[in-house]
Structure formats: structure tokens, C-alpha cells
Structure 1
Amino acid sequence: MKEKYIKKFVEKQDELKKLVYLQNTFLVEEIKLVAGVDLAYWVKDKKEYGTCSIVVIDYNTKEIVEQVDYFDEITVPYISGFLAFRELPLILKTVKKLKTKPDIYMFDGNGYLHYRHMGIATHASFYLNKPTIGIAKSYLKIENVDFIMPENLKGAHTDIVINNDVYGRCLRTRENVKPIFVSCGNWIDLDTATELTLHFIEKDSRLPITTRYADLATHQSRKRVLGDK
């Protein structure tokens, strides 16, 4: 059954991949609002559901400006490498609930660091029309290439290079914590994506507060929907 999806999904990814632009289309000093995006899933009565949370944060004060959630049934099956096709419908419906207009979106997931450079951060950019960044907690191994562990210093990083192409960056956001994996989504360069990620790191987490707060919000949203205490 999944085979019927794969051909169509690959064609769409190949079409969009040609349009990816890994340079800044904005000035960092003009950034005002940055959104974190994450999703959570569950199964009930043999149906799969998902909830998307978007948390918008003021770039300068780092205060939460807005939070919205949306849940619905998931109809696209999970297929490795094509997660965006499952998540995008929920994300776009959640974005419609926003009253603010984020300048940049940061996703709990990958962007250019993907088999066909089409992780959720990159794929979603074409529908959001905004620069995007992928923030992954675990490493997506591509073509059997391992990442190189950076020094145990805040801001230390090593680039993930596959076939002479820089896919992303292994970044140590704090001392004595596991690194995270940053990749461009679209319309941003890797150094700026790294800079923005570090800007939102606080002392109690290795993750930027953008995607960290979004992750926490998805769990709260799921509990509300399921009626859990």
C-alpha cells in the first residue's frame, strides 16, 4: 500500500529540492518573532491522531508571545524519509490559527540533513514562505556517514559532509550535554541557523527554547485531547 505513495512523494521532493536556497534572505537584526514547531501522535480506536503545537517567541525578550495547537486524524502512513507528508497538513492548519506572523520557523526535525534534502523544515518552507531551521535531537545517518563529535564546549561544532556536500551541523549547545543536529531548512545559511539556535539556548536544556517549548506544548495538548490528568 505504501508503494503508491512513494513514487509521488519522491517526485514532489525532487521538484522542491531544485528550489532550495541555502543563503539568508533576511537581516538577523530585523528578526522579531521566531516560532518553534513540533508534533505528537497517538492511536485511539485503531485510528492514528496527531497534534501540532506552534510556540511563537520574541527574539529579544525570549518571552512567549503566542501558542496555538491543532489536532486531527492522520491519514498518511509513516514512511521513512517522507515524514513531511504526514506532518505538513497539521502544521499548515495550525499556522492558520496564528495571529502573529513569525519571521522564522524552527522545527523539531531535520531540514537539509535528509536523504533528498527534504526534511520537514525544508519541505514546509515552501508552504510557509518563511526561512526555516531544522533542530534534531538524534542523528539521521545517511549513506553510512557518521558525525564527528564536537569538543565539549558551548558552541563547538562539526559539519556533516556527505559526498562533498554539507548536509548539516553537529552542535554542542552546552558543556557536558549531548550535541544536537542543526540543518538549514530554506532561505538561511548554516552559520546563521547555528547562531539563532544558540541564541535560544538556556541553562536548563540542550535544546533551543523554541522547539523545546513546542515539544512540551504537544504533550500538554495530547493530554487535553485524551482527557488525561
Structure 2
Amino acid sequence: MIIRTFHPWNVSYQQAVTIQEELRNRIVLDLPFPTPNYVAGVDVSTSKTLSIGWAAVVVLSFPELRVVEQRWAEGTITFPYIPGLLSFREIPLVCKAIEQLSIEPDVFLCDGQGLAHPRRMGIATHLGVIINKPTVGCAKSRLIGTHEEVGSKKGAYTPLMDKKEVIGAVLRTRQGVKPVFVSPGYGISLKVARTLVLSCVTKYRIPEPIRAAHNLVTLLRNSREAGQNHTLYSCS
């Protein structure tokens, strides 16, 4: 998979904002999206005591949702935690994990925002622009936007609005459980993104690809902070 380089990652706050505004012109949505064979989940975790982070990319077959490959990367985190600029903190590690894949996913589900971002450049969108693959943002909390109350049944949703623009959907993935915030990242429409996320949900609130990636980075972080060796856990 080709990872395109449009900018450096070690930049100032204002440079990062400018980069996001420039990359916004490269966003493409509503491309033809055939039924995928492989869906990847992406998640990143950082240490509370060390300047270290872990990124995991877990590939699942679709629609079976069976794990077929998992890759991870560890590295030093240098960019500060700034809401709205998390892609500069996390994507360099994500790309290192993606580069190891032997199976090329048809779409990536990211734990975070896509278009539901002040500059329409959440981590899912930023990643999609770089790898030129369809991406979807699926977040547990809202970054921006307003919405009406969501129906209580699984599959219920309501538009997430930023003024008069629809930037995502607030989707109920389990009855009686808090909804998730879905937004298209790159190369995919909101309708398809919402349907895909729901198709990847089993008995948990979070879609399986992201849940698998989250479990892996949590395991890596906990083992590292406990002084254990990562080689105990296979990355393929």
C-alpha cells in the first residue's frame, strides 16, 4: 500500500492547522464502494507515564468479521495532546503499522472523527487522504456539532449537524446503550459509512474492527508499562 507524503509531522500548532486546511481540498467522498472483503480497525493508545504510543491495525474478513491479520507499531510520541490535532500525534504510528500489512484492507474504521471536525480533518479523513483508501470515523464522543435525540432501538440514528451542514450521524449500535458518532473520512459517503459501521457491530457498542484494535493496543500498553516484552504477543 502506498502512503503518500504531503507534509512533515513535527510541526507547530499553527503549521498543523494550516496543513489541515490545505488537505481539506483533497477530500473526496461518494466514490463507488463495492462490498468489502476486508475491513480494518485502527486505534492508538499512549502511555500515561512514558512518552510512548502504540498503534494497531487489525484486519477482519467481511461479513464474517473474523480476524485475519493484526499489526502494531510502538514509538515515541512528540506532538502534544491537542483536541482537533490528534492526527499529528497518532498517524505516524498508524502508518508504521499499515506498512507491515500483507493483506490490503478495502476500508479502514478509525477510533476517532472523520468529517466531524472543525476543519473536516479528523484522524479518519487525514489518514484516508494519505493512504488514498476509504476511511470511516467512529467515535465514542462528540467533538463538534449538534443533534436531536436518537431513537432507543439498534440502528436508530440522527444527523450530526454543524450549522446547516450534515457532518455525520449519531448511531445507536445497541438498544439502551449510548450511541456512537459516525462520520465519513475519505472515499465513502455518510450513508455507506453508517451502514458499514452497523454491519460490523455484534454484541458490543463498538464495531468489531475497532474493538479488536483497541484490545490489542491496550494489551501492548499494559504489558509495556508492566515491564513485559512485546514479543510475547504475535503481531501477525
Same fold (TM over 0.5): yes
Q: CA deviation at 1:21?
A: 1.7
Say what the alpha-carbon RMSD is for the aligned residues: 1.4
Q: Distance in 2 between matches of 1:184 and 1:32?
A: 19
Gaps of 5+ in 1: none
What letter is aligned with 1:197? V
Q: Distance in 2 between matches of 1:75 and 1:154?
A: 40
- 2:146–2:162 CA contact under 8 A, matched in 1: no
Q: Distance in 2 between matches of 1:224 and 1:68?
A: 16
What letter is aligned with 1:66? E
- 2:79–2:88 CA contact under 8 A, matched in 1: yes
CA displacement 1:109-129 (0-9 Å, x = unmatched): 000000100000000112211
Q: Distance in 2 between matches of 1:63 and 1:54?
A: 14
| 2:52 matches 1:81 | no
What letter is aligned with 2:208? I
- 2:38–2:106 CA contact under 8 A, matched in 1: yes
Q: CA deviation at 1:226?
A: 2.8
Q: Distance in 2 between matches of 1:161 and 1:20?
A: 19
| 2:159 matches 1:152 | no
Q: Equivalent residue for 1:41?
A: 46
What letter is aligned with 1:37? V
| 2:58 matches 1:55 | yes
TM-score with structure 2 setting the length: 0.88
Q: Equivalent residue for 2:29?
A: 22
Q: Equivalent residue for 1:178?
A: 178
Q: Distance in 2 between matches of 1:187 and 1:111?
A: 11
1:89-104 matches, cutoff 5 A: 89-104=92-107
User: Which residue of 124, 128, 149 corresponds with 1:125?
Assistant: 128
Q: Distance in 1 between matches of 2:39 and 2:93?
A: 19
| 2:175 matches 1:168 | no
What secondary structure does 2:12 align onto? helix
- 2:124–2:185 CA contact under 8 A, matched in 1: yes
User: Which residue of 12, 16, 20 corresponds with 1:9?
Assistant: 16
Q: Distance in 1 between matches of 2:122 and 2:181?
A: 13
Q: Equivalent residue for 2:210?
A: 211
CA displacement 1:83-104 (0-9 Å, x = unmatched): 1011111011111111110010
- 2:146–2:161 CA contact under 8 A, matched in 1: no
What letter is aligned with 1:34? V
Q: CA deviation at 1:228?
A: 5.5
In structure 2, the CA distance between the partners of 1:150 and 1:75, relative to structure 1 (3 Å rule), is same
What secondary structure does 1:77 align onto? coil
With 116-125 and 162-171 compared, the bigger mean Cα shift is at: 162-171
Q: CA deviation at 1:43?
A: 4.2
What secondary structure does 1:124 align onto? helix
What letter is aligned with 2:191? D
| 2:191 matches 1:194 | no
Query: Which 4+ residue blocks in structure 1 deviate beyond 4 angstroms?
Result: none
In structure 2, the CA distance between the partners of 1:81 and 1:152, relative to structure 1 (3 Å rule), is same
Q: Distance in 2 between matches of 1:219 and 1:181?
A: 22
TM-score with structure 1 setting the length: 0.91
